[in-house]
Amino acid sequence: MNPGLRSGELAEAAGVNLQTLRYYERRGLLAEPRRSPGGHRLYPAEALTLLRVIKTAQRLGFTLDEVAELVDLGTHRHGRRADTSLQRRAATKLTEIETKIADLQAIASSLRAALDAGCDDLATCATSACCPIPLAALDRGEPTR
């Protein structure tokens, strides 16, 4: 069995700071890896995949806590015939994600409209209260937070 990645190697491969690995470990996102006799961390190869997943999810606007939850949902053995609480958390997360997708699509199409109208069409309404309007499509009026 090969010795595994050292922390520096993993950090480099994942494009994150070495300190970040330890930070994630403290946060419980990254399991404590085994150690060399002298106490140096030795990570399994999958840790790299996990890190990339974390980074991607983060780019999408998930907090680290949420990422931890997502990772749990995917990772955890969820006992056979899982306790439905996990299922429910996954379902919830899924609808959250679907909402985000819909919102992004609304933004994207406004931008697209703005682009291929070349702004001249939009300029017709530019005089006053018009221009936020394409974006306003995604206004749901939730008193966010």
Partner DNA sequence: GGTAAGCCTGTACCCGGGTACCGGATGCAA
Partner DNA sequence: TTGCATCCGGTACCCGGGTACAGGCTTACC
Site residues for DNA per CB under 7 A: 3, 6-9, 16-20, 22-23, 35-41, 58, 63-65, 145
Nearer to DNA, 14 or 110 (CB): 14
Q: Which residues bind its own copies (CB under 8 A)?
A: 14-16, 44-46, 49-50, 52-53, 55-57, 59-61, 70-71, 73-78, 80-82, 86-87, 90-91, 93-94, 97-98, 100-101, 103-105, 107-108, 110-112, 114-115, 118-120, 123, 126, 128-129, 131-136, 138-145
Answer for the pair 10, 47: CB distance below 8 angstroms, yes or no.
yes
Nearer to DNA, 71 or 122 (CB): 71
Nearer to DNA, 77 or 145 (CB): 145
Nearer to DNA, 33 or 134 (CB): 33
Answer for the pair 39, 45: CB distance below 8 angstroms, yes or no.
no
- Minimum Å gap between C-beta 144 and DNA is 9
CA gap 62, 119 in Å, rounded:
33
Token digits for 130? 């018009």
Q: What is the 3-state secondary structure (H, E, C) of 75-103?
A: HCCCCCCCCHHHHHHHHHHHHHHHHHHHH
- Binding at 37: pick from DNA, its own copies, none (beta carbon under 5-8 Å per type): DNA
- Binding at 4: pick from DNA, its own copies, none (beta carbon under 5-8 Å per type): none
Nearest alpha carbon to residue 113 among 127, 101, 125, 128: 125
Q: What is the per-residue DSSP string for 47-84?
A: HHHHHHHHHHHHHTT--HHHHHHHHHHHHS---TT--H
